[in-house]
């Protein structure tokens, strides 16, 4: 399954995600647009208050 990680997370989290999924890290901090989600089965968002 293809996983989109929407922002930088600790290396241990990225490694665990990559071990289980075809993971892609989105390194940009610009707003996420719906067309960027195409082709991914899952998204791992990071919410900032």
The per-residue pLDDT for 35 is 92
What average pLDDT does this structure show over 2-29?
A: 94
**Structural domain range at position 14:** 2-44
- pLDDT category at 49 given cuts 50, 70, 90 is low
Residue 8 lies in a domain: yes
The per-residue pLDDT for 46 is 79
Query: What percent of the chain has a predicted confidence (pLDDT) above 90?
Result: 69
What average pLDDT does this structure show over 20-28?
A: 94
Residue 49 lies in a domain: no
- Number of independent structural domains in the chain: 1
The per-residue pLDDT for 28 is 85
Per-residue b or e along 8-47, where b marks 16 or more CB atoms closer than 10 Å to that residue's CB: eeeeeeeeebeeebebebeeeeeeeeeeeeeebeeebeee
Residue 30 lies in a domain: yes
């Amino acid at each position: 399954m293809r996983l989109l990680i929407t922002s930088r997370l600790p290396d241990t989290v990225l490694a665990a995600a990559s071990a289980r999924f075809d993971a892609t890290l989105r390194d940009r901090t610009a707003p996420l647009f719906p067309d960027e989600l195409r082709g991914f089965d899952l998204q791992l968002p990071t919410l900032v208050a």
